Amino acid sequence: MESLTEDLWTMVLARLPIKISTGLKIVCKQWKSIVESPFFREVFQSMHQNSSSSSWSLMSRFDEDPEIVGHYQCDTWGLDRSLGSFIKSFLADKQQKHKDQRVSVEAYSDVGLILIHVESTDREKGVIYVANPVSRECVEILIPDPLPKRFGTYEYSFLWQWGLVTRTENGVLLGYKVILIDKLLRDRKLSCRIYSSETGLWSLETFHLPYSFNHHYFSGYPISLNGNLHWLGWNNDRHDIVLSMDMYATCTGSDRCRVTPFPDLEKTTMFKRFCTPCQGFLMYMNITKVDGSLEDKLCLWKLQSGGWQLISEISPDLTLAGLDCSPSLMINPLDAKTAYFWSNKQERLLSINLHNGKKFVIHNQFEARIFLTRQRERESFDVRIYYIPFILPQWLHRIPNTVSIKQPLTTTAILHG
């Protein structure tokens, strides 16, 4: 074995799952050098570029069992259980450390990181963790000041929203930002407290929205993608829109915020509108009635800077599908050709090829790679408020080292816009 060249070792080690790579580094200096090299990352990603080789889940915000539908046992990560179980285990460990305090997941990122919030008590300030629940790597960050209370002594927690965005380059995670958003709008201005891993400091920033919103029009978790936060909500006319905020843009003012109406507002749709991050884009899918036709169309759109682009349009056979308007409606985050639905009639998870499919494929509940935990009977719940996609990338993004500076937030903090 000592006679093997580094190229051959790279070819051998790159066939192992990501989860093992951390352990490989402590075997010897040669392996550590190989695993940390850009060449190893390129070889690994080329070997695991199959669309079915990473893990993802549709997470619920309030359930004890957070996952609705998910994919695991992939070659890339080598997981033997679902992402939800890793998150629950990680939360249990933090709960042991912070007894008598509420510990919860507040945000998910597009590079497999989550944001854990430990609510403050009279004894200590609040703490947040940026963490990878699978590798169990985490960074602890102190919240500089307690959240202000509104309306006397009662705190309206729904007026605060957490977010987590990341900055990557050539497949390497360079930094992240933790965002605490004050959803009580004032004159189309949205105030945010932002922690940057690159400075180790909290700052204040103000975002100028294109027009006035009511805080009730923001829905649930924002979707983090490419340094942007995307909310699904409504404008003042109660039309479904996507509000996008660029957290890494160098410009100021309203150029950092964009409101995009959904492309099928004039059509009758079967499902509540819901988006999925897929292959670096925000995707939207629905079944609509086409003007002048009795035929249903399953349409897929991709959000770009210029608006929604129609990717595919097919006419599936809905006769035996028995589809339900449930939150298990989802596009495969790594394969834009595959979509999943829940069928009340079949009591099974269905999938379909969005490019040329006519028939739905019925999945067994106990398949190793695709699973469904259970069907919630909550038709009154809005999918945009209670569910969020969570995806592990096809590479292990190590959390960047942060500058250890604990600075209280003051009126001299940075203001933008």
Secondary structure (3-state) at 200: coil
Residues whose CB is less than 8 angstroms from the CB of residue 123 and which lie 6 or more positions away in sequence, other chains included: none
CATH 1.20.1280 fits 1-47, yes or no: yes
**218 φ, ψ to 5°?**
-85, 140
- 108 phi, psi to nearest 5 deg: -125, 145
Closest CA to 224 of 286, 276, 147: 276
Alpha helix stretches (DSSP H) within 333-410: 383-386
Task: Per residue of the chain (417 residues), give pLDDT as tens.
Answer: 677 788 898 999 988 888 888 788 888 888 888 988 889 988 988 888 765 667 888 887 665 666 777 777 777 888 888 888 899 899 999 988 888 788 889 899 999 999 999 887 655 567 899 999 998 899 999 887 665 554 444 444 556 789 999 999 887 899 999 999 887 666 778 888 999 999 999 998 888 888 776 655 666 678 999 999 998 888 777 888 898 999 998 776 557 888 899 999 888 888 888 888 988 899 999 888 766 666 788 899 999 988 999 999 988 888 766 776 555 567 888 888 888 887 777 777 788 898 888 888 887 755 544 554 544 444 444 555 567 888 888 888 889 876 544 444 333 332 222
pLDDT attached to residue 102: 83
Cα separation, 315 vs 311, whole angstroms:
14
What is d(CA 252, CA 51) in angstroms, rounded to the nearest whole number? 38
pLDDT for the residue numbered 407 = 41
Burial class of 246 by CB neighbour count within 10 A (0 to 12, 13 to 18, 19+): middle
- C-alpha span between 123 and 146 (Å, rounded): 12
Q: Exposed, middle or buried, 42 (CB in 10 Å: 0-12/13-18/19+)?
A: middle
pTM: 0.84
pLDDT at 412: 30
Residues 130/176, Cβ–Cβ less than 8 Å? yes
Give the phi and the psi of residue 335 in degrees, each rounded to 5: -145, 100
Q: Distance between CA 143 and CA 128 in Å, rounded?
A: 7
**Nearest to residue 185, comparing CAs of 162, 217, 154?**
217
Query: What's the confidence (pLDDT) of residue 287?
Result: 87
Q: From the CB of residue 13, how many other CB atoms can be counted at a distance below 10 Å? A: 18
Q: Is 377 exposed, middle or buried (0-12, 13-18, 19+ CB in 10 A)?
A: exposed
Go through 389-413 and write b for each residue having 16 or more CB atoms within 10 A of its CB, e for each that does not: bbbbbbbbbebbebeeeeeeeeeeb
Q: CATH 1.20.1280 in the chain, residues?
A: 1-47
Cα–Cα dist 230/257, whole Å: 10
Residue 282's pLDDT is 93
First to last CA, the chain: 60
Q: Which of 136, 190, 134 is nearest to 159 (CA)?
A: 190
Give the β-pairing of 330-331 and 338-343.
antiparallel
Helix (H, G, I), strand (E, B) or coil at 34: helix
